[in-house]
Homo-oligomer: A and B are copies of this chain.
Amino acid sequence: MDRYPPNILKSLAADIASAAGAPRADAAILADSLVAADLAGTSTHGLSRLAIYVKRIRKGLIDPRAELKIDRARAATLAVDAGNGLGQVQAVKVLDRLVPMARQCGVASATIRNSQHFGAVGYYCNRAADQNMILIATTNCEPAMSPEGGCEAFFGTNPIAASFPTGKGFHVKIDLATSLVARGNIIAAQKKGERIPQGWALDPQGNPTTDASQALLGTVMTMAGHKGYALALMVEALSSVLSGAAIGSSIGSMYKNLDRKQDVGHFFCLLDIDAFMDVADFKRRMDETIDRIKSCRKRPGVEEILVPGERSDRTMRKNVREGIKLDAATVTEMRQMAQEFRIDFDAIAGTRLVSPSA
């Protein structure tokens, strides 16, 4: 895999999104969020998604120029209709509106309906942490998991995320799907012809399976059984029931349903740290927490205890230094899109290619 400078990729992605119809500023938001995911090593939410967004825009399934419509507003809340716009763009715009509300009231919250897949939830949380705020964010997504006891995909892998600023040079970033493993791990096992561990998934009849193909036809297990089910339902109730978005299995699949919109729902709750204590005190207390966690006695064979967000921060620093690795499929997609939009891929990316690292 080749490595590319992040800024080059960001500029290329923004050019493509803009050519596909997004206003320039919005294209830049989308590009920033995708490249941030690649920087953090979460390539599943990075530029590998650009092609499907563009495809859906071209089919009229995403409106890249959609404006936010505010269904209801109070001093500290917004109920937003995203107008079937790009998930990342609409989410950032809502977050930007919440910031002054949270500064004023101490907390501000929004629901967003009629949205799309909006990438890595932690992106928005880190953006809030950059401003000394704490964002708790959830989203529903296309069906993958069944309720405990069931064997039909009803819930998405419904993630929960929150970031907390620290004095350590990185945010503590919690960002987790309520599934036991990401569906991507099962797809990877299938590609390699490997079996998956017992407990990851059920076949379509609801029996535990180690056959990756059967698992992909069936359902992914919730994390910790009934507890993950409960959390997935909490995420669904906040992101979708409360927002007015499609519920559970009514969410459209980004790749499979190329005939209808997704109608994904998101939930944001933004806390201004200064409403509770001085930001400096909060960061000092976060640092103390991190130090005490990292100096815990270790289990046999464990070299280092990491806090959530630490690994992705290290990956990000390495990728800023060495460039972002893109897999061949994503490069091919980007090249094709560039070609279709008459953007000179090689002029932008080719000449500034970083050599593959050892």
B242 contacts A277, CB within 8 Å? yes
CA A297 to CA B207, docked complex, whole Å: 12
In the complex, which residues 140-172 of chain A have their Cβ closer than 8 Å to any Cβ of chain B? 146-152, 154, 160, 162, 164, 172
* Nearest-neighbor residue (CB-CB) of A229 within chain B: B308
B276 contacts A77, CB within 8 Å? yes
Residue from B148, B231, B242, B308 in contact with A276 in the complex, judged by beta carbons closer than 8 Å:
B242
Known: A154-B292, A289-B247, A305-B150. A205 touches B105 (CB 8 A): no
Residue total for A at the interface (Cβ-Cβ under 8 A)? 82
CA A275 to CA B271, docked complex, whole Å: 18
Known: A74-B275, A276-B79. A298 touches B150 (CB 8 A): yes
A206 contacts B107, CB within 8 Å? no
In the complex, which residues 206-253 of chain A have their Cβ closer than 8 Å to any Cβ of chain B? 206-207, 223-224, 226-231, 233-234, 236-238, 241-244, 247-249
CA A111 to CA B282, docked complex, whole Å: 13
Nearest CB on B from A47, distance (A): 26
Chain B residue contacts of A30, Cβ below 8 A: none
Q: How many copies does the complex hold?
A: 2
Residue from B73, B151, B205, B289 in contact with A241 in the complex, judged by beta carbons closer than 8 Å:
B289
Nearest CB on B from A291, distance (A): 11
Chain A, 69-89, contact with B by CB distance < 8 Å: what is the 0/1 string? 001111111010000000000
Say whether A285 faces chain B, with CB atoms less than 8 Å apart.
Answer: yes
Chain B residue contacts of A334, Cβ below 8 A: none
Residue from B111, B154, B176, B241 in contact with A230 in the complex, judged by beta carbons closer than 8 Å:
B176
Say whether A302 faces chain B, with CB atoms less than 8 Å apart.
Answer: yes
CA A160 to CA B236, docked complex, whole Å: 15
CA A84 to CA B50, docked complex, whole Å: 53
Say whether A337 faces chain B, with CB atoms less than 8 Å apart.
Answer: no
Can you list 28 contacts pairing A with B, beta carbon distance less than 8 Å? A72-B277, A74-B104, A74-B106, A74-B275, A75-B76, A76-B105, A77-B107, A79-B276, A105-B105, A147-B307, A149-B298, A151-B298, A152-B297, A154-B292, A154-B293, A154-B296, A160-B234, A206-B297, A206-B298, A206-B300, A207-B299, A230-B308, A233-B293, A241-B282, A241-B286, A242-B277, A247-B288, A248-B289
Q: What residues make up the interface of A, taking CB atoms closer than 8 Å to B?
A: 71-77, 79, 104-109, 111, 134, 136, 146-152, 154, 160, 162, 164, 172, 174, 176, 180, 202, 205-207, 223-224, 226-231, 233-234, 236-238, 241-244, 247-249, 269, 271-273, 275-277, 281-282, 285-286, 288-289, 292-293, 296-300, 302, 304-308
